[in-house]
Amino acid sequence: MQRYDAIIIGGGAAGLYAAFHAGRRGRRVLVLEHNAEVGAKILISGGGRCNFTNLNAAPERFISANPHFARSALARHTQHDFTALVQKHRIPFYEKTLGQLFCEGARSSQRIVRMLLDECAAAGVEVRCGVRVRDVRRAERFSVETSAGAFDSETLTIATGGLSIPKLGAGGFAFEIAKQFGLPVTPTRPGLVPLTFGEGDLGWMRPLSGVSADVTVRAGKAAFREAALFTHRGLSGPSVLQASSYRAPGEAIVIDWLPQADEDALAQRKRERPKAQLKSILAELLSERLAAALAEQLPHGAVGDMKDAALIEAARRLKAWPLTPIGDEGYAKAEVMVGGIDTDALSQQTMETRAVSGLFFIGEAVDVTGWLGGYNFQWAWSSGWAAGQAL
Ligand code: FDA
């Protein structure tokens, strides 16, 4: 039996980050990763350039049954702290849009993984890959039985991530441990996920596959103005992915196809071009194909023949166009999982469970889900750091 101060299960963003912060405090740390290598999601993130944080990270940009839970960790270890580490390792980065910080260059996300491993090595952390955890027990200390032997530790941290992208090694290990120790879990579902539609809607949507548009998408009280993209099965693109995390199953999303225009925009254009068809007027505001597809579903004819009230009504429809998805592309395509270990069970200072002393949960396994744009990594860093001070 090999003895440690801290065993961390899961060598992803949160696990590696917690590991070297605990190691720096002189703790003897072991990371157990079941994949052959650590950081699979970091490697593919941001199209290989890892959108590692967001300048605008703030508690309001995270979804959780307790919206206040993430506040402490996010405030104590911020996007600027993580960015300082990236700078210390001389990794070039840039702001792409909306505060999103990306590494520069193809496959540059490798450099973030290298940075985390270098910090782990410097802090004396042992990282073991290709290890299957078979059993976890707790008596005085935690004992972890694995395919590589038995390990014993004062603390145990679960950093096994969420359920999205099973082919990268994601799974429900955190929930098995929660069940074993009687900890609550809030309902989980795919987040930041493309939405799928039934044949009725796909009749007009599918021919637009590949077309993107600057829109505002609403789901519940949330609204996102960014691009939407038509796919063969429905809608994707940043605005739709963001809305998907807020949409309750079965609920409609509402799209504003003309976020840049007022309700009287069509009526005003009628004065300039009374002979124009509504579809041509719309094509001044939208791409031609999208304008034609939407105009098909509105009154036809020359705008000069339409009353102002009818044009205002058409603009209102275009600005609040409800669409009810039949579902989503599921965990195979979702960037994150919404829901997870109930934050009521955890200390917001340290991520330690209240009921089981020495047991910690961090990262995406916890019921804290960020917006698209570097927020989910920031949660992994902040929660990992918080635990790293206490392990
Ligand atoms: P993470 O998934 O990183 O790590 C968990 C680790 O635990 C993995 O290495 C896994 O193999 C291991 N593990 C699982 N079960 C285990 C078990 N039973 N035993 C041992 N090990 C086990 N976010 C962002 O902020 N910016 C971005 O650019 C992107 N891009 C992006 C692209 C794609 C395609 C996806 C799927 C996701 C993103 N994300 C993102 C989200 C981000 O990757 C995610 O939120 C973090 O990686 C979560 O960090 P964790 O450490 O919690 O889990």
Q: Give pLDDT tens digits for 261-310.
A: 999 999 999 999 999 999 999 999 999 999 999 999 999 999 999 999 99
**Taking residues 245-250, what's their average pLDDT?**
94
Tokens found for residue 69:
């839970």
What are 103's strand-pairing partners? 93
From the CA of 49, give the closest atom in ligand 1. 28
302, 328, 354 — which closes off a domain? 328
Tens-digit pLDDT profile for residues 54-105 = 999 999 999 999 999 999 999 999 999 999 999 999 999 999 999 999 999 9
Tokens found for residue 385:
């750091």
The number of folded domains in the chain is 2
Same domain as 175, residue 79: yes
Query: For residues 97-114, b (16+ Cβ closer than 10 Å) or e, as one string?
Result: eebbbbbeeeebbbbbbe
**Taking residues 41-47, what's their average pLDDT?**
97
Indicate the SS3 state at residue 304: helix
What separation in Å is there between the alpha carbon of 223 and the centre of ligand 1? Answer: 26
Query: For residues 139-157, b (16+ Cβ closer than 10 Å) or e, as one string?
Result: eebbbbebeeeebbbbbbb
Q: What is the residue-averaged pLDDT of the chain?
A: 97
pLDDT given for residue 191 in this prediction = 98
What separation in Å is there between the alpha carbon of 199 and the centre of ligand 1? Answer: 34
pLDDT given for residue 341 in this prediction = 98
Residues 6+ apart with CB under 8 A from 213: 227, 228, 257, 286, 287, 290
d(CA 65, CA 72): 16
Tens-digit pLDDT profile for residues 126-143 = 999 999 999 999 999 999
> Which of 205, 214, 162, 188 is CA-nearest to residue 325?
205
pLDDT given for residue 1 in this prediction = 83
Pocket of ligand 1 (CB under 6 A): 9-15, 32-35, 38, 40-41, 44-46, 50-51, 133, 159-161, 164-165, 169, 171, 173, 335-336, 363-365, 374-377, 380
Same domain as 10, residue 136: yes
Same domain as 177, residue 34: yes
Tokens found for residue 188:
């989980």
Phi, psi of 357 (to 5 degrees): -65, 135
Q: How many CB atoms lie within 10 A of CB 361?
A: 28
Same domain as 279, residue 148: no
pLDDT given for residue 143 in this prediction = 98
Same domain as 91, residue 145: yes
**Ligand 1 pocket: which of 7, 17, 41 to mutate (most atoms within 8 A of CB):** 41
Same domain as 65, residue 211: no
d(CA 252, CA 90): 45
What separation in Å is there between the alpha carbon of 10 and the centre of ligand 1? Answer: 9
What separation in Å is there between the alpha carbon of 275 and the centre of ligand 1? Answer: 56
Q: Please state, for a pLDDT cut of 70, what percent of the chain lies above it.
A: 100
d(CA 27, CA 284): 63
Tens-digit pLDDT profile for residues 351-385 = 999 999 999 999 999 999 999 999 999 999 999 99
Residues 6+ apart with CB under 8 A from 313: none
Same domain as 303, residue 365: no
Q: Which helix (H) or strand (E) holds 253?
A: strand 253-256
pLDDT given for residue 243 in this prediction = 98
Same domain as 247, residue 166: no
- Output the CA torsion 99→105→108→112 (10° steps): -40
From the CA of 377, give the closest atom in ligand 1. 25
Which range marks the domain in which residue 272 is found?
195-328
Q: How many CB atoms lie within 10 A of CB 132?
A: 10
The CATH number of residue 49's host domain is: 3.50.50.60
